[in-house]
Amino acid sequence: MKCLGRYAIKNLLSRRLPSIRFAGTLTSPKLNETSHSRIMALGREQKKVTPPLDEWLKRGKDLNPAVLRGLINSLCESQRFNHALQVSEWITKRGIFDLSTEDFASRLCLVEISTGLKEAEKFFKSIPENMRDDSVHTTLLSLYTISKKTRHEAEATYQTMRVQNMLLKPYPYYSMIYLYALLGEKNMIDEILRQMKENGVEHDKNLTANNVLKAYASLPDVEAMEMFLMGLEVEEPRFSLAWQTGISIAKAYLKGGSSRKAVEMLRRTELVVDTKSKDSANKVLMMMYWDAGAKQDASRLSRLIYPKSKKGKRMKAYDEKIESYGGDSSDPIIFIDNRRDCGSVGDGDGDVDVDVDVDVDDGFSGSSDGGASCGGGGCGGGGCGGGD
């Protein structure tokens, strides 16, 4: 299950909107094809999206729970969260079916996105106590852990989950690791890891390792980061570095004044970027190379990103000029003190002109391929806080 949330959208680890799936599969999709398509055809500016559903009921048609959850899913994927919340609330108002704990977790997430944390807290209190399971609490915890200001609420929720034996999945631990990284408290990150190990929580080792590395990098605590990474390198099966984590590690090296280590990590990171993320990752990597003073690497990526543009042609001309002086763009990197030195890729004012639309530092993974908020669950009843 992948997570939903404005924080997941902003990211994760590169915050893009993840695709959101459900615990069940859709059944008889043609049964509600008209109502589904009519609602999806409504624009974002439409205030209410439930009239087509009311009309469908008046015609004596059934609305399958899986199909309604699928509709919420589609609305979330289109970032129409207010509309998704309307459908969720309509289900309860019309008594279509009883909500599961995953449905409550899903709505809690949607309420926070649409109306804010205070309203989400009110909704949580309205949920019957017997329906406040680990998925609901994990979702609430994830909403608290994205801000330093709600530390006490997060710790209280975590303690409640501990007392009620709800800390059996990795997502609450990931949320707390993220919070303590925000607060710059390495000792508490280590304590959460200790608790996770002590409780024998089953987890994806790669996912956990990438989250911890990002936490140490965000502090930044280069020594702890390197020690943790060294331990991973000798383990079997072999650790798989996420490219977003590699960027965070490189940034930590730069903050610590080690440009050479930063460039080494950036080059390693290039090798693990997936095809789908290539364009956005290369833009981030190019900027990072400039920050590290690695002109040749930045030039190389610029030609990949802008092969036919004036920018790309300027970089090609620059490389040819370097070669005419006996240099080689594949030579060991040349470090510079300022990326606005001669040779930077700019439009006349020395600034690097790229549109980097990926934020790799804002958040931690809640699933094997992204999603940090709401505990790794889904939007439409697939377990907003209860992903396995």
CA distance 301 to 67: 45
Look up residue 263 and give its two tokens. 């460039």
Tokens of 386: 């209860």
- Residues 191 and 177: their CA atoms lie apart, in Å, by 9
Residue 254 lies in a domain: no
**pLDDT on residue 384:** 47
Residue 302 lies in a domain: no
Whether 64 maps to a domain, the answer reads yes
pLDDT of residue 100: 95
| Domain-located, residue 255 | no
DSSP line for 65-84: HHHHHHHHHHHHHTT-HHHH
Q: Which helix (H) or strand (E) holds 2?
A: none
- pLDDT tens digit at each of 388 positions of the chain: 334 443 333 333 332 323 333 333 333 343 345 555 556 656 555 678 788 788 878 887 777 888 889 889 889 988 889 999 999 999 999 898 999 999 999 999 999 999 999 999 999 999 999 999 999 999 999 999 999 999 999 999 999 999 999 999 999 999 999 999 999 999 999 999 999 999 999 999 999 999 999 999 999 999 999 999 999 999 888 999 999 999 999 999 999 999 999 999 999 999 999 999 999 999 999 999 999 999 999 999 999 988 866 555 555 555 554 444 344 433 333 232 333 332 333 333 333 333 333 445 555 554 433 333 454 445 554 444 444 4
- pTM for this entry: 0.73
**Closest by CA position to 167, among listed 204, 192, 131, 130:** 192
Structure token digits, residue 342: 């001669």
Q: Residue 143 is encoded by which pair of tokens?
A: 């909403």
Report the alpha-carbon distance of residue 267 to residue 56 in Å, rounded.
Answer: 56
Which candidate, 352, 340, 251, 360, places its Cα nearest to that of 293?
A: 340
Instruction: Name the amino acid, one letter, at 95.
Output: G
- Could you count the other beta carbons within 10 Å of the beta carbon of residue 95? 7
* Cβ proximity of 365 and 15 under 8 Å: no
Backbone angles phi, psi at 238, to 5 degrees: -65, 140
User: What is the torsion angle, in degrees rounded to the nearest 10, for the CA atoms of residue 205, residue 206, residue 210 and residue 213?
Assistant: 60
CA–CA separation, 342 vs 339, rounded Å?
Answer: 8
Domain interval for residue 380 = 1-165+366-388
In a domain, 91, yes or no: yes
Domain count, the chain: 1
- Collect all residues with Cβ–Cβ distance below 8 Å to 245 and sequence separation of at least 6: 13, 210, 213, 214, 217
SS3 286: helix
Domain membership of residue 356 (yes or no) is: no
Instruction: State the angle between helix axes of 101-115 and 81-93 in degrees (0 to 180), rounded to the nearest 10.
Output: 130
Angle at which helices 171-183 and 151-163 pack, to 10 degrees? 150
Decide if 60 is inside a domain: yes
Domain presence at residue 226:
no
